[in-house]
Structure 1
Amino acid sequence: MAIIYNCRHCGYEIGKLQQQFIDTAQLGWDQLSIEDRQKMIQYEANGDISIQSICENCQEALGNHPEYHELDFFIQ
């Protein structure tokens, strides 16, 4: 089973963890609200877990252009 972190804006694979057992508290998932967990964490049919996050480039773009927060998608 893999835990795959992808940028929700550009799709870039930020990182991948190969884990047999998951300690959700160690990964910080217990700090997320139920709504955020539903938006960010997807369980795939093959057993992998996909996490929607944000990469450094997209975070920098949002920091430089705060008006992008109003858009559903800011990368064309």
Structure 2
Amino acid sequence: MAVNYECRHCHMPLGRFESGQVPEYRLGLQFLTPEERKRIMTYNSNGDVTVKVVCEYCGQTLESHPELALLSNPLQ
């Protein structure tokens, strides 16, 4: 199992941890509520997990133009 991090807006791959590289508790995913997990995590058929986060570029863009957050997929 691997944990992949991807930007929720531009879909840029941001990082990947193979199982065994980093203990799961160090990723902090256990602190997410069930609703947060459902919103930002997807489980792939091969056992990998994809965590949707916001990359630096999209974060800066949303900070400069907060009205973009009202769109369903603001930065595509």
TM-score normalised by the shorter chain: which range applies? 0.7 to 0.9
Please give the alpha-carbon distance, in whole angstroms, between the structure 2 residues aligned to 1:49 and 1:31: 16
Matched residue pairs, number? 76
Q: Please report the TM-score for the alignment, with normalisation by the length of structure 1.
A: 0.86
- Segments of 4+ in structure 1 off by > 3 A? 20-25
Deviations for 1:4-55, whole angstroms, at most 9, x for unmatched residues? 0000101000111111487443211122121010111111111111111110
Q: Which residue does 2:33 correspond to in 1?
A: 33
Q: Report % sequence identity.
A: 34
Report the equivalent of 1:56: 56
Aligned-CA RMSD value: 1.7
- TM-score (norm: length of structure 2): 0.86
Q: Which ranges in structure 1 are unaligned for 5 or more consecutive residues? A: none
